[in-house]
Amino acid sequence: MKPNARLTLVGAGPGDPELITLKGLKALQTADVILYDALANEELLAYAPEDCLKIYVGKRSGLHQKQQIEINKMIVGYANSMGHVVRLKGGDPFIFGRGHEEMEYASAFGIQSTYIPGISSAYSVPGLAGIPITKRLVNESFMVVTGTLRDGTVSEDISTSAKSKATVVILMGVGKLKHIVEIFKKERGEEEPIGLIQNGSLPNQRTLYGNLKNIEELQEKEQIQTPAIIIIGKVINEKLETNVISHREHALI
C-alpha cells in the first residue's frame, strides 16, 4: 500500500463548475487519480495535476458505465497503487449518491477517507431558477425524494410526501412523471403547481412549469430530459424571473 493511500469524496455541485467548494477544488489539485461521474462537470478536471490519471465512471438512469462494485474496487486499487484518489460526484455525494457506501468500502481496506460536501441540485437548481424552496406564509418545510428505486419502481415516499403540505423535490423522477402526477393529484388536486428543470445551473438549462392537470401534455411537447428534477408545491407561484449566468459569462461581467 502507498504511504499516502487515501480517498477524498468530493461533491462537484449541480453542474456549473464554479459551484464546487474551495475545499473540493484543493482536493482536485492534489489528486493522483480522479474517478468522475457523468454529472460532474469535466471542466473541473483542468484543476488536477498534469500527471493525474482521470477516469470516467459515469452512471445515469438506464446506463451504468461501471457497476458500483467495480468502482469500489477501483478506488481501493488505485489508492494502493497510486496514492490520493479523488472520487468526484455530481451534487452532494451523500444525497442519493452512494458516496457513503464507497467510503465504507475503502475504510474496510484500511484506506483513510474524507468527505467534502457539495451543493445539492435538490435546493440549488430551484433557487437558480428563481424558486424559493421555502417561503414564509407559503410553506413550512420541504422534502427531497428519489423518484425511481433500484428495481425501477416508484418510491413509497412519493405517496407520503404527497400527503404533506411540503414543497417536494424529486430527483431521478422524470421517467416516472405520469405515475408521480397520479399520486399527487389524489392528495393535492389538479391545480397544484409543478415544475421540471433540466441541466440546472448550466447555460443550456431548460424549464417547464404547469400544474398537475396539464404538465403531462406540456411535457409531451417539450420533452424535458434527464438530468432533471421535479419540484411540486405552491412556492413555484413565487418564482422570480431570473437568468442562469454561466461561469464564462460571469467572468466577463
Catalytic residues: 37, 59, 172
Report residue 33: phi and psi, to 5°. Answer: -140, 140
233 phi/psi in degrees, rounded to 5: 150, 165
In angstroms, rounded to a whole number, what is the distance separating the alpha carbons of residues 67 and 235? 38
> Which residue type, as a one-letter code, is found at position 192?
E
Distance CA 181, CA 220 (A): 14
Residue in the structure block whose three cell numbers are 448550466: 202
- Tell me if the bond preceding 3 is cis, omega within 30° of 0: no
Rounded Cα–Cα distance for residues 225 and 97 (Å): 20
**By the 8 A CB rule, do 224 and 196 touch?**
yes
Measured between alpha carbons, how far is 111 from 123 in angstroms, rounded to an integer?
32
Q: Whole-angstrom Cα distance, residue 161 to residue 122?
A: 15
